Amino acid sequence: MKKHRIALDILTPHGQAGAKMEDGSLTAWTTHSITPIGITDFSEKLKKHYISLPGKYRLPLRVDLTVKLDNPSFYLFIGEGHITFASSGQDNRKLEDVIKHSSKPNQDHYSYNNSLPLGEYTEISVIYNRNEMQICIGGEERFYSRKQAYMRAKNFDEVNSKGISIGFAVSKRSMLRIQEITVTEADNPLPVSRSADGEEKLSFGAKKDPKPTFETVLSGLPRGFQDRLVEMDAFLRSLKPLKCKRVLDKSGNKITYVAADYGVSYAVEVWDGRFTHCFNWYIVYNGKPETWHRKADYMEEALMESAKSNPGLSERLFYALNDCVGCHGPGCLARTSYVYNGQKKMTCHGRVMLRMCEGDLRDAKEFFENLNRLVERKIANGEPKPEKILLRKA
């Protein structure tokens, strides 16, 4: 058995990932989005801006980490696959196989409760034996399987003999601190300690009301954030001429406000006692492909409007735009280019990704105030509503 205590100061950042040592711990981040909104070939696109461990390792294998994350999400790369931690409740691709990723929802029909307590150090351990796999978080078993693809892969011995790489990444606008990483390689299967109810843990989370209400969607959040989102709801629905309409997702964990005349929406996704929120200029996919369209958006103009009173707001929002990661190639209909303050950025849907904090809620509210003011001025000047831009030729 070989036990490798990984020296944190020799890890290698790739792409626009960054890392530095602070008080004996490693702080890691990225300045570029690493996940696409429309997920295709997820694992390949994910591993562009990441940090790698030295060398390669062979199964049976155990990886132990002590990490602290301040905002979703964190990704552990093992071979060709990945394990996601602290992602949203709607993410159904939290696991990908170490030999060959499939870009399909989790195997074994497990939901995999990958939640982490944000803002505090947590121990994570992952075991890959030849015929079983286990993920533990904070000493609790969260996933166990005897049916992973690598276990029956014909080329397993060939791939394993060459060794597999290990690395990790963190979402843009999130910060990860790592106290320790240990990788253990063994000649024989590593011991797996099962919890008494482990076999029953096939899913997680409370069942949602079949007809969710605004109140039930917010009910799992801390009271202070519930109050802020109630205030945001009243604010958005009061805006004129934007006229945002509230829509509840049938899953019971998402609220969307749609200003259909201007092609902009604001969404709040709630899960596991926390939320993420964003706004974007959306595409209408209803009907035949030749009818797909979007409205000519006001993003650049709205950023300039915001900069008149608060330049810092526009800079933060421009940085928070979800960068294009090339998940659909150069012909993607959602690729949107913006220029602000001399900087050009290729984005996905023009989507601005926001964090669960008071500051980002204020930023969203102020942006929509400025956008509404911009639309009012356009109407006063006799300008027509934004044109419909067809995305596919008949």
Q: What is the pLDDT of residues 330-382, one digit of tens each?
A: 788 888 999 999 999 999 989 999 999 999 999 999 999 999 999 999 999 99
Whether 48 has a pLDDT exceeding 90, the answer reads no
Any idea which of 23-37, 69-83, 256-270 has the lowest mean pLDDT?
23-37
Asked whether 93 and 39 are in contact (CB, 8 A), the reply is yes
- Classified as helix, coil or strand, 40 is coil
Q: Which stretch of DSSP H or E encloses residue 271?
A: strand 264-271
Task: Quote the pLDDT of residue 78.
Answer: 95
CATH architecture of 2-187: Sandwich (2.60)
Q: What is the pTM of this model?
A: 0.88
Task: Quote the pLDDT of residue 374.
Answer: 97
Gap between the Cα atoms of 135 and 112, Å rounded: 9
Break the chain into its structural domains and give their ranges: 2-187, 214-390
What confidence tens digit (pLDDT) does each residue in 53-83 have?
A: 999 999 999 999 999 999 999 999 999 889 9
Task: Quote the pLDDT of residue 354.
Answer: 95
Give me the percent of the chain exceeding a pLDDT of 70.
89
Backbone φ, ψ for residue 83 (5° rounding): -125, 130
Whether 174 has a pLDDT exceeding 50, the answer reads yes
Gap between the Cα atoms of 93 and 41, Å rounded: 11
Gap between the Cα atoms of 115 and 74, Å rounded: 10
Gap between the Cα atoms of 381 and 394, Å rounded: 34
pLDDT-derived band of residue 251, with 50, 70 and 90 as boundaries? confident
